[in-house]
Structures are given as C-alpha cells and as structure tokens.
Structure 1
Amino acid sequence: MTQTTVFPSHAHAYRAAIIHTLEDPAKVGIDASYQYFEDGLLVVENGLIKAVGHAEALLSTLAADTPVTVYNNALITPGFIDTHIHYPQTGMIASYGEQLLDWLNNYTFPEEHKFADKSYADNVAEIFLTELLRNGTTTALVFGTVHPQSVDAFFEAAQSRNVRMIAGKVMMDRNAPDTLTDTPESSYQDSKNLIERWHGKGRLHYAVTPRFAPTSSDEQLTLAGKLLKEYPELYMHTHLSENKQEIEWVKALFPDQNGYLDVYDHFDLLGERSVFAHGVHLCDDECKRLAETDSALAFCPTSNLFLGSGLFDLAKTEQHNIKVGLGTDVGAGTSFSMLQTLNEAYKVMQLQGEKLNPFKSLYLATLGGARALKLEEKIGTLQPGTEADFVILDYHSTPLMTYRMKQATSLEERLFVLMTLGDDRAIKATYAMGKALHTRG
C-alpha cells in the first residue's frame, strides 16, 4: 500500500527530543501539563508548525526530499517569552549597589539620555535583539525611552528579523530629569504616531507605556487610558509595587486613591492586555482586582533580588488565578538568559518555603508568557498551526553540563539541570517563523 504524503517537499523537519507545555501545572497537575517526545519530529512549513509527534510515526508522512535536521543530545522547546525588559538599559546591566529609586537616578536616566540620538538607539537595538536570540528569547514586551526614535529603532531592528515583539515609548512628564520628560499632549501624540506607524505591522505590537505612576501626572495617565480606548488591541505596560519606598511615594502623590493598583484602575489602565512588572508587594484585594480585569503580572526574580525589592509570591497569584509570565527586567535584571532567570526564580520560591517545579518553570517561560500577552493562539507552544518559534537546547553545552546530564535519570531532572546550569551556551539554535536567527558557533 502506498503511503500518502501529508507534508510537501517545501516543509522542513527537525528531529530531537521535544517538549512543550499544554496547560498550567497549577491547574491540571504536572503529568497533564506537558507533551514530550523522547525521539520527536517537528515539521515546519511556511513559518508555521504543521505537526509534532514521535519521529517514527511522522517520518513516513514526509515527501521523500523533505530535509530533516537532526539535533543529537538536544531538546526542542517553544521560543522563550520575556514579559518585561528594558532595551535602553542594555548598556548599564550590572550597575553596582543601589535600590530602585536611587538606581533610576544614578544609572537609568543618564543612560536613557543617549537615546535622543537615533544612531545610538539603532546600535543598541541591534545588540539587544542579538542578545535575546542568543538566549533563546523570540518574543518580548519591551520598554523604549521617552524618545519616539528609540521605538522606531527597536521596531526597525525587530522587523528585519521578523520576530514577534511588543514595545512602546515611555510616557513620563514629571519626577524625572527635564531632558527626559514629555508632556501629556506630546506623549499622547507621539504614541499615536508610533501606533499608526508600527502596531500590527508584520509581527509587531504597540504597548502604551507610562513608566510608573510616580512619573506621570493625572493628565498623562488620563491620556494613556484614552489611547487604550481608541485602539482596543494595544497593550499597556508599566511597573507596580516593586519597592516599599516606591509604594509610599505613590501614596503621597495620589492621596485620593486607595493604593498603587487603584491609581492605574482609576485611569482605566487595567485589562486583558495590561502587564504589570513586579507586583512584589500586593495585598489580596489587589490580586483579586488583577484577576477580575484579566490583567497580567511579570515575575522578574533577578532584578527583585539584585535591587533588594523583595520576593514575588507566585503561590498567591495562583490562588487568585492571575496570569503570570517571566521577565528578565534587563538592566536591573542581571541576565538576558531565561534559563538563568528561572534559576533565580527557583531560589525566590525556596526562600518562601515553596518549590518551583521544572515543568512550571517551562510553563512560565513559554505558554505562561504567551497567555500573559494574549498570544497563546500564536506562540508559546508547538501545537500545529502556531508560529514556528522554537529553541534547540544543548544537553552537552559545557563540560559540567555533559557530566551532570550523565547522572540525570528523568526528564524532570534534565530540565532542572538546564534551568540551573544553563545560560546562553545552552542555546544551540533559535528559530523564528521557521528561520534560524541564531546558531551557536
């Protein structure tokens, strides 16, 4: 009997161990949360995933001339999704010795001045996107600076790579250096121009981006809310309850509101595409409101530890059914690597007497991030029909990794080793829409 060919010759297949997440382990349990193929095949056609499954079953469905790339001692996962990162802070990552507010004044603002120069922004955008891809990150929710040209530079670089990225111009009209402030009206108009130029262009999305409540006036936050009403498909990206000193400052600046989240709620900034970075110090009422509005949080362990801000309570967010993604928060965050970010996330949970299972970690870095961004129909899994953004993880990326993997006796253990010892060296290749954008030399 002749085998019917399902996949035409212009498809491409990738053979290795394969894993992807199907659901949050907190909801369905570990065993039902993922799909794994020890000897798997991923079939890609025209930038989309056409099939995933056991290699033995799928190989016979390929046309005879379909190329098959085999990765030995490797694991294919969906591309990583970073739900909070600052591209202008690339040049100041690993700046020493401050907490949040002093860190902004002493390091962040001086660096962001430089993005008034478009050529400087162009250069940093190239470095930034190269680093993301070297670390297996294929989608990110990204801060620009107050300068519109910073967003143009980022989107131009992202468009040239055909990666799915979300970014926005910082809105900041007070409590910052004069050279980094805009006005309510200019921030609204500049954002509107950028939205018209970039939102929905290819794989690009725009995020309305007030830096955080203390650096925006009532008038500016009102106009941020107006933009979200005028363009319902936009994202909203800002910071929330990162640092106790910051929270007290918000109370002083907005005495008519009941708390930090209430400020954003008052100005209609909560919604299904609103992502709040950090959320370290949230009360139950705030968690309830985030869940009611389908807003998301970005868990940023390396920056919270680096700045001494506190420990994110992942268990509380699960109790309240809040969407949570993982954020590196470069440059307060100390690594572009989502693997190293998961390493720190595990430690954050340990300090609270909680365990972070490797399968939950995988969820946070992939499907959890996609859900936080309302993109789970496009990215975050390897389900047929989704975009072919995927990463090849190398079990033998370093001598120590090779030796440690010989002792591993389960998939769970291998994942944990990757997430503890892994970094950019563990990324053998990064694909976006089926095209290799990074291959480790």
Structure 2
Amino acid sequence: MTIYRGTIFDVAEDAFPGARLRADDDAGLRVVDGIITERAAFTAVRAAHPDDDVVDLRPGIVLPGFVDTHVHFPQVRIIGGLGMPLLQWLDECALPEEERLASVEYARGVAADFVRGLASAGTTTSLVFGSHFAGAVDVLFEEVARVGLRVTAGLVVSDRSLPEPLLTTPERSYEEASALAQRWHRPEGRTRYAVTPRFSYSAGDDLLDACHRVLKDVPGSWFTSHLNENPAEIAAVGAKFPTAHHYLDTYDRHGLVGRASVFAHNVHPTDGELELLGRSGAAVSHCPTSNSALGSGLFPLRRHLDHGVHVALGSDVGAGTGFSLFKEGLQSYFVQQLLGGEGTSLTSADLLHLATRSGAAALGLGEVVGDLSVGKQFDALWLCPREGGPLDVGLRHAASPEQALAKAFTLAGPADVAATWVGGDHVTSR
C-alpha cells in the first residue's frame, strides 16, 4: 500500500476535442495491489493512512502512462531513414532489417532495445506490430513480460509482394499465430494477441481468411493493419483487389473491420471508408511524425470525427521519429494547424487525451487505464526534467496547468521522464 504524492494531470472525461484537464496540486494517490483506491489532497490521504509508504514525486508532474497504438518492434534500429516515400523506404530500410529477425539472437537484442525505448518514453501500453518470424515474436513477448509493460502484439503475416524470407502461407500463419496466442494471450493480464497482416498489398484473400479464423478462434484478440497511408500504396492495393470498393473493403470482406480493429494512418480516406469505420467502431491510429517524414500527407482529423471515427496516437517507430508521444502529440497539433480551416484546433488537454484516454479506448482498455481515477490501474509516468533544462525553465514559468501541459508537449522527451509504473510496478527510472 503506497501513497504517491505530487502534481497530477490527467483527462477524466471522454470529450474530444474539447478535453478538460484535471490538475491536482500536491495530491495523493493511494495504490493498493496496483489499483488506485483514493485520490485527494495529500494531507487528507496521509491522515487516513499514516502507516502507508509514501513516494514523493515532487517536483514535476505525474501523468497517466502513454498508450501507443501503432509501433513496429523490428524497426527500432532504423529510425531516421529520411528522404524516401513509403514503398521505397520499405524496400531500402524496413524490410532488410525485418529479415534480420530470422535470427532469434538478433531479435533478442532488438526486443531489449524496443521495450527499453517504450518504457523510457513513458509508454506503458502499446499495440505492437510484431515480426514475420514466430521466434522473434516469442522473444518480444518474453522481454515485455520480464519488464512488465502492457502489450498487444502478434505475428506479422504476408504471402506476396515482399522478400521471400518474409512470406508465409495461410496454413502456416494460422498454426503459428494460434501457438503464439496459446502461449501469450492473457486478456485479463498484460499481454494480448493481435492478428496482424502487414497490409492487404502483401496479403491475399486466403491469408486474410486465415487472419479472420485466428481472430474468431482467439477470444479477446485484436486486429491491426495499415490503411490508406500513401497514394502509391493505395493504387497498388487497388490493382491487387480490382473488385474491392476501396482499401478498407479488402479487410471488411474478410470480417476484419470491427470494434477490435485498429488501422494505422488512414491519411487519404474516402467518405465510404470513414462511414464504415464509424459504423463498425474500428479505430484509427494517427502517426503524425511518420506521415510527415515519409511525405505521406496531412491527417484529416476533422473528417474522421465528423464520421464518428475513434482516433488515437501512434509513434510508428521506425518511420516515426522516436518513441515519445510528447513528440507525436506536438506533431499532431502542427498538422492540424497546417490544415487551417480544414483542420481541428487542439488544446494541450486534447493532446493528453490523444496520448492516454484515446489510446486506452481504442484498445478496449478504457476501464483499466488511460487516466488516474480511482479504480484504474496505476499506470503512470513521472515527468521531472533536469534542473536548468528547457522543460524545467518552461514549467517554472507556466502561468496555468494548461500552459504547463502545453510546454510539456512542446519541450519534453524521454530524457525528462524520470520513472514509469505499470499496475503499480516500477518498470523504469532515469
């Protein structure tokens, strides 16, 4: 039984945009068995529980753990491959590195880099694109379980249009996915299985049917893939599925669009796709630094919201430029500013919503994590910049909690995250 003392910021309501920041100065969070049982002024919580341990998180700000809804495990070592559009970047940067994960020992080192990167950035929950190799996915889950993060991930499957070492068959993909899910899928725990065709450009109808079988046969599993990221990609998918109504239909015809689906990017959607996403309850992971780095386009957030589509944030490491959702939140703000009248004006509280509550809801974990309310798991990060650094100066001169949060999204990075907890377990510290 522990009382965490500090300045606590979160967003406790579902409104987005227009999120309202909840900021409590010198507050106490009492955590019992990983669950927040009380939230009030520190003096009141301490008086009620004088024998509890106290963890003093002053100065700085305590935030809910971040939720990354699209990040690639095999790509942590290739961040920074600039100057190329999507398909060229895949051929020259991503796919050669992903082939190297055929070696379990190489994959083990990548997994350590990857999990450390998430935890040090304050990301406590993530939807992860795994590897094309089952052995590498095992290694990923082993490292996730050792460190204690919340991760939904799975075997990435393709049966065409990629280098031969990355290809599988429908039968093999089903067998390997089922075996991985048997070992690692724990819907009530911290690891869950995600059915993960790379994208329909590299997945034919029979393979997508096999994906549906896994999704149906593994209760509580999730589905994720790519959608409408780049004009050349969209054209290539159209050529491979000439009878499909649109890109999203290539998944929908196989029963893969629903409440347990998260599609990455969707930079260039049709109205029909947005209507289907909104009606089905599927979510979209907005990956702003990746979309900018690859020149994929500016994300039409307003159109998504107008159709009732749920949107969260993804770092898209390694086309994205790092694990920090502070950076992704800031870039999402920039993108909407650049869209002008077609964009959506975002506040600092909206950015926090995107990085926490939005992601938790997209992953079906809204009752478990996403804010620091009583009854939620204590998944949190302690933002405590080094004295004299840019963020330290900014926070000391913030005129309001909203302004402090804006400065955090503008100036913070992993170096400013002093500690991270998942379910009350301390998983990393500076």
Bin the TM-score by the shorter chain: over 0.9
Residue in structure 1 matching 2:237, options 250, 261, 268: 250
TM-score by length of 1: 0.94
In structure 1, the residue matched to 2:428 is: 438
In structure 1, the residue matched to 2:221 is: 234
TM superposition shift of 1:88: 0.3
Q: Distance in 2 between matches of 1:146 and 1:396?
A: 40
What secondary structure, in the 3-state scheme, does the structure 2 residue paired with 1:73 have? Answer: coil
In structure 1, the residue matched to 2:324 is: 337
TM-score by length of 2: 0.96
- For 1:414, give the aligned amino acid: A
- For 2:140, give the aligned amino acid: F
- Checking the alignment, whether the CA contact within 8 Å between 1:73 and 1:396 is kept in structure 2 is no
Q: Distance in 1 between matches of 2:269 and 2:311?
A: 14
TM superposition shift of 1:73: 2.3
In structure 2, the residue matched to 1:22 is: 12
In structure 2, the residue matched to 1:365 is: 355
In structure 1, the residue matched to 2:118 is: 132
- Checking the alignment, whether the CA contact within 8 Å between 1:398 and 1:425 is kept in structure 2 is no
Instruction: Find out whether 1:49 has 2:36 as its counterpart.
Output: yes
Please give the per-residue CA displacement for 1:51-94, whole angstroms capped at 9, x wherever unaligned.
122223222111x2211121222111110000000010011111
Q: Distance in 1 between matches of 2:405 and 2:62?
A: 12
Residue in structure 2 matching 1:270, options 233, 247, 257: 257
For residues 153-172 of structure 1, the aligned pairs below 5 Å read: 153-172=139-158
Instruction: Find out whether 1:424 has 2:414 as its counterpart.
Output: yes
Please give the per-residue CA displacement for 1:276-310, whole angstroms capped at 9, x wherever unaligned.
00011112221111011110000100000000000
- Checking the alignment, whether the CA contact within 8 Å between 2:65 and 2:420 is kept in structure 1 is yes
TM superposition shift of 1:25: 3.2
What secondary structure, in the 3-state scheme, does the structure 2 residue paired with 1:97 have? Answer: coil
Q: 1:106 to 1:24 in 2, by over 3 A?
A: same
Residue in structure 1 matching 2:60, options 74, 83, 89: 74
In structure 1, the residue matched to 2:209 is: 222
For residues 107-122 of structure 1, the aligned pairs below 5 Å read: 107-122=93-108
For residues 55-204 of structure 1, the aligned pairs below 5 Å read: 55-62=42-49, 64-200=50-186, 202-204=189-191
**Deviant stretches of 4+, over 3 Å:** 395-398
TM superposition shift of 1:152: 0.2
What secondary structure, in the 3-state scheme, does the structure 2 residue paired with 1:392 have? Answer: strand
In structure 2, the residue matched to 1:209 is: 196
Q: Distance in 2 between matches of 1:235 and 1:50?
A: 29
- Checking the alignment, whether the CA contact within 8 Å between 1:395 and 1:405 is kept in structure 2 is no
Please give the per-residue CA displacement for 1:238-271, whole angstroms capped at 9, x wherever unaligned.
0000001111111100001111011111111011
Please give the per-residue CA displacement for 1:321-357, whole angstroms capped at 9, x wherever unaligned.
2111110000000011111111211111111124221
TM superposition shift of 1:206: 0.3
- Percent of aligned pairs with the same residue? 39
Please give the per-residue CA displacement for 1:348-393, whole angstroms capped at 9, x wherever unaligned.
1111124221101001101100000010111111122221111111
What secondary structure, in the 3-state scheme, does the structure 2 residue paired with 1:72 have? Answer: coil
- Checking the alignment, whether the CA contact within 8 Å between 2:119 and 2:149 is kept in structure 1 is no
- For 1:21, give the aligned amino acid: V
TM superposition shift of 1:398: 5.0
Which sections of structure 2, spanning at least 5 residues, go unmatched?
none
Instruction: Find out whether 1:12 has 2:33 as its counterpart.
Output: no
- Checking the alignment, whether the CA contact within 8 Å between 1:238 and 1:275 is kept in structure 2 is yes
TM superposition shift of 1:175: 0.1
- Checking the alignment, whether the CA contact within 8 Å between 1:296 and 1:324 is kept in structure 2 is yes
- For 1:87, give the aligned amino acid: F
What secondary structure, in the 3-state scheme, does the structure 1 residue paired with 2:399 have? Answer: coil
Instruction: Find out whether 1:387 has 2:377 as its counterpart.
Output: yes
Q: 1:222 to 1:398 in 2, by over 3 A?
A: farther
Q: Distance in 1 between matches of 2:144 and 2:268?
A: 34
- For 1:23, give the aligned amino acid: E
Q: Distance in 2 between matches of 1:23 and 1:392?
A: 21
What secondary structure, in the 3-state scheme, does the structure 2 residue paired with 1:51 have? Answer: strand
TM superposition shift of 1:24: 3.2
- For 1:226, give the aligned amino acid: R
- What's the RMSD between the two structures over aligned residues? 1.4
Q: Distance in 1 between matches of 2:105 and 2:200?
A: 30
In structure 2, the residue matched to 1:300 is: 287
Residue in structure 1 matching 2:391, options 401, 419, 429: 401
Q: 1:163 to 1:406 in 2, by over 3 A?
A: closer
- Checking the alignment, whether the CA contact within 8 Å between 2:34 and 2:378 is kept in structure 1 is yes
Q: 1:245 to 1:418 in 2, by over 3 A?
A: same
Q: Distance in 2 between matches of 1:322 and 1:50?
A: 33
- Checking the alignment, whether the CA contact within 8 Å between 2:31 and 2:38 is kept in structure 1 is yes
Q: Distance in 2 between matches of 1:304 and 1:398?
A: 33
Please give the per-residue CA displacement for 1:139-171, whole angstroms capped at 9, x wherever unaligned.
111011210011101100111122211101011
Between the two proteins, the alignment pairs up a number of residues equal to: 426
Which sections of structure 1, spanning at least 5 residues, go unmatched?
1-10
Q: 1:318 to 1:395 in 2, by over 3 A?
A: farther
